[in-house]
């Protein structure tokens, strides 16, 4: 069954709801420029609702001190959504022992070739590139050309992200063969505000594949 990550949750009730509905991972965005930003103090409360799902910290070019604080909260999966090099990913993995995911923005098949460089990553998150001039590196609700992934020999387990919605996730999974998907904007009614009905519909549509 397809695994699902719901990203950018800021409300404890919604965390509990998403987990009840079958989310496998819950993503918390520790990026101040984001409309889904959560402080470390707020995350401590949100983490109490995660239950059997796995919490994921979304970080952009984190320094060592931030990583130490996040790991101290008990989060064992770090999703790196900045310009972290393969060497930095390996360093973070060695220093923390945490599971490390690297997000890669994809617009062409050449972008996919970068995946092979991230040998230390546990998982890759294959996402759309941010629009020109954007103030943050992800969470824009933009899809990329999924056919680029057809026949791709992924070097690692991976998640499909970028512009997924309850309406298109089934087709995205069928076209790409993704076994795990990630959503943020597509389950929001307003930027940064998740909607229960959309969260439920997304999880059901993804898991029906
Ligand atoms: O969500 C943000 O605001 C954000 C800020 C900085 C870096 C990444 C960010 N989000 C990435 C994600 O939420 C996802 O992992 C994913 O790319 C899905 O985004 P969306 O296209 O909005 O569904």
pLDDT above 90 (res 124): yes
Q: Tens digit of pLDDT for each residue in 56-81? A: 999 999 999 999 999 999 999 999 99
Q: Which residue is catalytic, options 122, 127, 145, 167?
A: 127
- Identify the bridge partners of residue 180 per DSSP, sorted by sequence position: 3
Q: What is the mean pLDDT of residues 92-99?
A: 97
ipTM of the complex: 0.96
Is 127 annotated in the active site? yes
Contact 169, 202 (CB under 8 A): yes
**189 C-beta neighbours (distance < 10 Å), count:** 10
- Section 151-174 average pLDDT: 96
pLDDT digits (tens, 9 = 90+) for 5-46: 999 999 999 999 999 999 999 999 999 999 999 999 999 999
Is the beta carbon of 166 within 6 A of some atom in ligand 1? no
pTM for the whole structure: 0.96
User: What was the pLDDT predicted at 1?
Assistant: 93
Q: Is the pLDDT assigned to residue 134 strictly greater than 90?
A: no
Please state the domain extents for the chain.
Answer: 3-207
Q: Best of 9, 56, 139 to mutate for ligand 1, by most ligand atoms within 8 A of CB?
A: 139
Supply the residue whose CA is at minimum distance from atom 7 of ligand 1. Answer: 138
pLDDT at residue number 130: 85
Mutate to test the pocket of ligand 1, among 3, 4, 8, 80 (most ligand atoms within 8 A of CB): 8
Listed in order, strand segments (DSSP E) in the chain are 3-7, 25-29, 54-59, 77-80, 99-106, 123-128, 158-160, 180-183, 188-190, 193-194
Class of 3-207 in CATH: alpha beta
């Amino acid at each position: 069954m397809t695994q699902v990550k719901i990203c950018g949750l800021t409300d404890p009730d919604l965390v509990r709801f998403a987990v009840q509905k079958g989310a496998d991972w819950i993503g918390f965005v520790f990026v101040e420029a984001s409309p889904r930003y959560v402080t470390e103090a707020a995350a401590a409360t949100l983490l109490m609702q995660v239950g059997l799902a796995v919490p994921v910290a979304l970080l952009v070019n984190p320094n060592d001190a931030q990583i130490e604080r996040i790991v101290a909260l008990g989060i064992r999966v770090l999703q790196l959504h900045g310009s972290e090099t393969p060497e930095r990913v390996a360093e973070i993995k060695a220093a923390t022992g945490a599971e490390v995911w690297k997000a890669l923005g994809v617009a062409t098949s050449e972008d996919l070739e970068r995946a092979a460089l991230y040998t230390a990553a546990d998982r890759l998150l294959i996402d759309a590139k941010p629009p020109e001039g954007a103030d943050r590196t992800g969470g824009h609700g933009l899809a990329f050309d999924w056919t680029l992934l057809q026949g791709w020999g992924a070097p690692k387990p991976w998640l499909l992200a970028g512009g997924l919605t309850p309406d298109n996730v089934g087709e995205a999974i069928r076209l790409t063969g993704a076994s795990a998907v990630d959503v943020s904007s597509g389950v929001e009614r307003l930027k940064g505000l998740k909607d229960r009905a959309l969260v439920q519909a997304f999880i059901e549509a993804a898991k029906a594949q």
